Structure 1
């Protein structure tokens, strides 16, 4: 029982710090001091230390020489590579979702989207953020490759500090809702090309918001209104 309680406390603290990063209360490059976090989240320093270790493994924070633990930030080159991978992975997952899709998948996505829309209208950001995650996990989970799904999720978590720049922006939330609707429609209509395009284009508005906050730069593959959809990944089986 004591172990279960300790594990729950750790999980709750990890989620609280993660939410603070998602909603921009802890910003990229911000130094995370154990004593301050312990006071802020009413936790022991030991628990904070364990939570930071977990967040480090998730890619949300990093340890820097002479600076301690900071919220992850990325170089331009790192961002280019990460978003290239996200585009490749999400495009490939969209290509693997069975079309015509099972009614159960469409029903699930419709139900999640309805709840997401309701929370977007109310600007209930925490609930909307959670439902956004559930929407993508459900859709990409239908690609029938759990390793692909898990890798998409890892990159999703890793870009939390970038994606936080879109959270709370009413215009970007409305755009996200429209894009979710377009994904569902493409699945219902069996339009593979449109589904792949929507799944790839969907990752860029948050990146553009991040770029604007940092002075802007040209990110390979992300500039302009027309973006090239990555070619299909080719897997060669070893004999």
Structure 2
């Protein structure tokens, strides 16, 4: 759906911030449509974990707490390492060339400052990389967890050094695949995940304070 995709891209690019209200009438006016279409879009985004709908209060961009981010990334790391650990070696030339093409697209988007293309080319690179493992259940689960943190990507992407590191990581991952160096690929996979949660947590604590971040973690721990 066009509305859901547009709101999702705003979240990914940091144009809509965690806890920002998504007012149905404002969205109707923006997209020149009726509430039924807007509510369907918000429902779709809620299923992806990007939007939170609270009864009698409306919808907001989901604001993950630092604790939630750490939990998601802990699981992501283990699953993504599992995927690269079972990729059959040697990897075919066609698969290597496909990853190289996506890496070039990602690098070009960084140079041109096209952040939406940076996001999607990066996403496709990793989908192809983890898809090499051949385990459909694992691939689907990795995709679902990645969706939950779409909204925090912009925090790391705001720093040129983070983008350059991601670009270099992609090159190194391709090199490890080509040379069948699995241990190196595993190390790169772990390292590649760290900039986004680190940048988000720092921004969260600056905006809401460390005390609130700690309180949110305690409240989450008390929930059944």
TM-score with structure 1 setting the length: 0.82
Match of 2:199 among 209, 222, 225: 209
**In 1, Cα distance between the equivalents of 2:186 and 2:180?**
11
The question of 1:12 aligning with 2:5 is answered: no
**In 2, Cα distance between the equivalents of 1:177 and 1:154?**
23
Please say if residues 66 and 201 of structure 2, whose CA atoms lie closer than 8 Å, have aligned partners that are also in contact. no
**In 2, Cα distance between the equivalents of 1:150 and 1:80?**
20
SS in 1 for 2:32: coil
Gaps of 5+ in 2: 211-224
How do 1:1-239 and structure 2 match up within 5 A? 11-215=1-205
**In 2, Cα distance between the equivalents of 1:191 and 1:31?**
47
Please say if residues 156 and 199 of structure 2, whose CA atoms lie closer than 8 Å, have aligned partners that are also in contact. yes
**In 2, Cα distance between the equivalents of 1:143 and 1:206?**
24
Please say if residues 10 and 16 of structure 2, whose CA atoms lie closer than 8 Å, have aligned partners that are also in contact. yes
**In 2, Cα distance between the equivalents of 1:32 and 1:70?**
5
TM-score with structure 2 setting the length: 0.88
Cα deviation for residue 67 of structure 1 reads: 2.9
**In 2, Cα distance between the equivalents of 1:81 and 1:89?**
13
Please say if residues 23 and 164 of structure 1, whose CA atoms lie closer than 8 Å, have aligned partners that are also in contact. yes
**In 1, Cα distance between the equivalents of 2:70 and 2:13?**
23
Please say if residues 63 and 70 of structure 1, whose CA atoms lie closer than 8 Å, have aligned partners that are also in contact. yes
Runs of 4+ in 1 over 4 A off after TM superposition: none
SS in 2 for 1:215: helix
Q: Would you say how many aligned residue pairs link Structure 1 and Structure 2?
A: 208
**In 2, Cα distance between the equivalents of 1:41 and 1:196?**
44
Cα deviation for residue 66 of structure 1 reads: 4.5
Is the deviation greater in 164-173 or in 112-121? 164-173
Please say if residues 106 and 188 of structure 1, whose CA atoms lie closer than 8 Å, have aligned partners that are also in contact. yes
